[in-house]
Amino acid sequence: MTAGLREIPAEELTAEQAAAELEALARELAHHDKLYYGDAAPEISDATYDALRRRNQAIEARFPELIRPDSPSLRVGAAPAAGFAKVVHSKPMLSLANAFSADEVGDFVARLHRFLGLDPGAPIEVLAEPKIDGLSAALRYEGGRLVRGATRGDGQVGEDITANIRTVDDVPKALAGADAPELIEIRGEVYMRRSDFLALNQAQTAAGKAPFANPRNAAAGSMRQLDPRVTAGRPLRFFAYGWGEVSGPIGATLEEARDRLESWGFRLNQPARLCRSVDELLAFYEETFGTRGELAYDIDGVVYKVNRLDWQDRLGMVSRAPRWATAHKFPAEQAQTTLKAIAVNVGRTGALTPVAELEPVTVGGVVVSRATLHNEDEIKRKDIRPGDTVVVQRAGDVIPQVVSVVKEKRPKGAKPYRFPRRCPACGSRAVRQEDEAARRCTGGLVCPAQAMERLKHFVSRDAFDIEGLGEKHIEAFWEDGLIKTPNDIFRLKERTEELKTREGWGEQSVKNLLAAVEQHRDIALERFIYALGIRQVGQATARLLAKQYGSLGAWRQAMEAAEDREGEAYRELVAIDGIGPLVAADIAAFFAEPHNRAVLEELARELRVADFEAPAGASPIAGKTVVFTGGLETMTRSEAKARAEALGAKVASSVSAKTDYVILGAAAGSKAKKAEELGVTTLSEEEWLALIGG
C-alpha cells in the first residue's frame, strides 16, 4: 500500500493518506536505523534512506498536525532529512598555493614586494604557523552564538554541518568576552590527534568496519555523518586560523586578530612566529619539520601569511588562493615496493596515462597499490621496467608517484618498457604532437574510454554532481547502452522500465535517481561550461568564460564565431585575462567538432542554464569590462586589476566596443586613442578610485 501511496506527490495527498504513510515511514525508518546503527548492516543505500527521510519531512511540512510522537524527525540527534543542505559561502573559501623549496618561498616573498610596490629589501612581516591536514570548516556566529557550521565544498558552496560541528568540544557554542562583532564567520580546520585516530581505528576494526587510511580521512568521514550522534562519538578537534565575513574590524594585523580569536575561546595553530625575511621563514620551517613528532597531530607543512591585514586586502586573491599566503610543504614520505605492471589509461581528452600497478605498500600511513608514472618520457628517463623495485612517494593529498628505480634490485631479464602506439581501449593509433608530453588516442568519438571519461567528468562533483549517478553507474549504464552521451542522462526517464529491472535497482531507487536527474536540469553557467570537459577548461577558466559572456546563448555564439582567428570574437576571447591562445585553440577545437555542437544543442534544449551572476552585486563595476593603460600612481597594475576583479569587473587587455571604462594612467598611448575613437568612457585614476569607493 505504501509503495502505491509514495507515487503521489506530497502536495496531493489527502490527510488520511498522509497519516497512513507517516505511520509506515516511522516504522520503516526505525527498522533501517536499527540495521544501520545497531547492526551495522544496512539493507538499503544511503540515498534510498535519505529519500525516505525527505518524504517524511515533506509530508510533515504539509500536515504538521499529523506529526507522530514516534516521528523519525523528532528523534534526538536525528539525521538531517535531506542529507546535508547546501550553504553558499558569503566569501569564497579559498585554498592555498604551495611552495616546495626555499627558492619558491623566495619567489613568494619577491611577489609580495612587487605587488605592493615595495623595495626588494623592505621588510614585510609574515606570520608562520603549522599547516594541519584536516578538513576546513566555517563557523558562523551571530550575536556571539554559533548559528551554523559549513564545510568548504567547492569553495563557493559547502554543506551544512551545524549539528555535527556542535559536537566538537573545541568549537565554542558561544563566544567568550563581550567584544565579538555582531556577525563573524570563523574559519579553521577540523582534525584528529594521532592517538585518537589509532584508537578509533582499533574500535572500527573490532566492530568489523573498515579502518580509516589516515587522521584526515577519519576527521572528514566523521564530520560527514548524517547522524550527529555518530560524530559526537568521534574525537574531533578544531583549530581556528582565519575568518570570512565579519561585521566589524578585527584588528590591524593577523597577530592582533589571533589574540582576539583566542580570547573568544578558540584554539589556534601553534607555534606561530612573526618573521621578517625569507631566512627567518626558512628557519621556522626547519625547526617545525624537526620537531613535528612532538606534536600530538600530523602536520604536512607550514603556512606563511602576510601579517598586515590592509596588505592582505590589497594583495587579494588569484585563481582560488590568496596572494598573501602560501603553504610550504614538508617533503613527501617514501617507501619501496615492486612494480607489478604498467597499465595505460585513456583520459577524456584521449591522453594515454601510464599507471604503476604496485605490490601494496604503506606510505605515510596510507596503503598504496597504484601510482602515477606521469608520461612516456618519464618512464624512459627513469628507465622504469615491470618487475623493478621502485621508490613510491606521497606528498599531502597528491596522487602517489613513482620517483625512481632501485637499479640494484632489478630482476634479470627485465626488459625496457615500450609505450603502446595504439590506444588500449579502441585500438586506434596513438600519436604524439611535437610539443606535447602525452600520446593521444586518435579514435575521438569511437573510443569508448574517451566518451566514458567525459561522461564521468560530466557528472562529477564540481560539474553536475548528480546524487546516485557516480562513476560506477556511468560505467554500468554505458556498458548496457543506457547512457552514451550527456543528453541520455536527461532522457533516462524514458527508460524507467529497463532501469527497474536492473540488478540492485528497484522502484524506489529508480525514482530517486530520476528525481535527482530532474533536480539538475537547472545549473549555473560556469558549472555547465566546466562539465563539458573541454581540454584546459577547468573550473577557474569556466568561471572566466561565464563571467565574460554571461549566458549560454551568448557564449555559444561567441565560441562558434571565434573559429575565425581574424575576427572580433576570437580577439575578445584571447583578451580575457587568464585565457591565452592555447586555451582558446582548445575551445575552438571543441566547437569545430560537429558532434560537440550537436550535443550542446540538445543539452541547451534539455536544461535550464542560469546566466552568470556577478558576485558583489552592489559594486558599481560588477559585470563591466575595464582596461587599464599607462602607469598608475596609487597602486601597481596587478593590484589595480585584482581589485577591479574582486569588485566583479572583467579586466581586458585591449580596448573594443564592448569595453565600459578605460582607466588612463600616466603616458597612456594608443589605447586612449582607441577609446576615443570607439566612444568608450575614459577615467583618470582619481575618477576611477572615486567610482570604486577609494
Assess 327 for contact with ligand IVH (CB under 6 A): yes
CB of 130 to ligand IVH, least distance (A): 6
Stretch touching ligand IVH by CB under 6 A, among 18-26, 38-46, 124-132, 583-591: 124-132
**Contact pick of 303, 309, 474, 662 for ligand IVH (by CB under 6 A):** 303
Let me know: does 238 contact 170? Beta carbons within 8 Å: yes
Beta strands (DSSP E) in 513-572 are 522-524
Query: Closest residue (Cβ) to ligand IVH?
Result: 136
Distance CA 667, CA 632 (A): 10
257 sits in which H/E element: helix 254-263
∠ CA 37-43-47, rounded to 5°: 85
CB of 156 to ligand IVH, least distance (A): 14
371 sits in which H/E element: strand 366-372
CB of 324 to ligand IVH, least distance (A): 9
Cis peptide bond prior to 72, omega within 30° of 0: no
> Cα-flanking dihedrals φ and ψ of residue 570, to 5°?
-65, -45
CB of 315 to ligand IVH, least distance (A): 12
Judged by beta carbon, residue 189 or residue 388, the one nearer ligand IVH is 189
CB burial of residue 645 (10 Å; 0-12, 13-18, 19+)? buried
**Contact pick of 44, 112, 132, 455 for ligand IVH (by CB under 6 A):** 132
Distance CA 115, CA 120 (A): 11
| Contact set for ligand IVH, span 91-110 (CB under 6 A) | 94-96
Distance CA 164, CA 148 (A): 10
Judged by beta carbon, residue 150 or residue 356, the one nearer ligand IVH is 150
Considering only CA atoms, which of 299, 364, 356 is closest in space to residue 329? 299
Assess 242 for contact with ligand IVH (CB under 6 A): yes
Q: How many C-beta atoms surround the C-beta of residue 667 within 10 A?
A: 9
Assess 529 for contact with ligand IVH (CB under 6 A): no
Catalytic residue, candidates 131, 456, 511, 641: 131
Let me know: does 264 contact 177? Beta carbons within 8 Å: yes
Assess 129 for contact with ligand IVH (CB under 6 A): yes
Contacts with ligand IVH, 58-97, as mask; x by CB under 6 A: ------------------------------------xxx-
Considering only CA atoms, which of 335, 330, 329, 370 is closest in space to residue 353? 370
Considering only CA atoms, which of 414, 409, 412, 399 is closest in space to residue 356? 399
Assess 329 for contact with ligand IVH (CB under 6 A): no
Give the total of residues touching ligand IVH (CB under 6 A).
15
CB of 187 to ligand IVH, least distance (A): 7
Let me know: does 168 contact 238? Beta carbons within 8 Å: yes
Stretch touching ligand IVH by CB under 6 A, among 115-123, 131-139, 440-448, 512-520: 131-139
Assess 322 for contact with ligand IVH (CB under 6 A): yes
Q: Tell me the CB-side half-sphere exposure of residue 673, using CA atoms within 13 A.
A: 3
131 is catalytic: yes
Judged by beta carbon, residue 325 or residue 607, the one nearer ligand IVH is 325
Let me know: does 231 contact 37? Beta carbons within 8 Å: no
Stretch touching ligand IVH by CB under 6 A, among 29-37, 60-68, 322-330, 513-521: 322-330
Judged by beta carbon, residue 132 or residue 499, the one nearer ligand IVH is 132
Assess 216 for contact with ligand IVH (CB under 6 A): no
664 sits in which H/E element: strand 661-664
How far, in Å, are 536, 567, 591, 620 from residue 560 at the CA level?
18, 11, 6, 31
CB of 279 to ligand IVH, least distance (A): 21
Let me know: does 517 contact 491? Beta carbons within 8 Å: no
458 sits in which H/E element: helix 448-458
Contacts with ligand IVH, 607-636, as mask; x by CB under 6 A: ------------------------------
CB of 68 to ligand IVH, least distance (A): 42
CB of 81 to ligand IVH, least distance (A): 28
Assess 185 for contact with ligand IVH (CB under 6 A): no
**Contact pick of 109, 325, 466, 651 for ligand IVH (by CB under 6 A):** 325
Q: Which residues bind ligand IVH (CB under 6 A)?
A: 94-96, 129, 131-132, 136, 189, 241-242, 269, 303, 322, 325, 327
* Residues carrying an active site annotation: 131
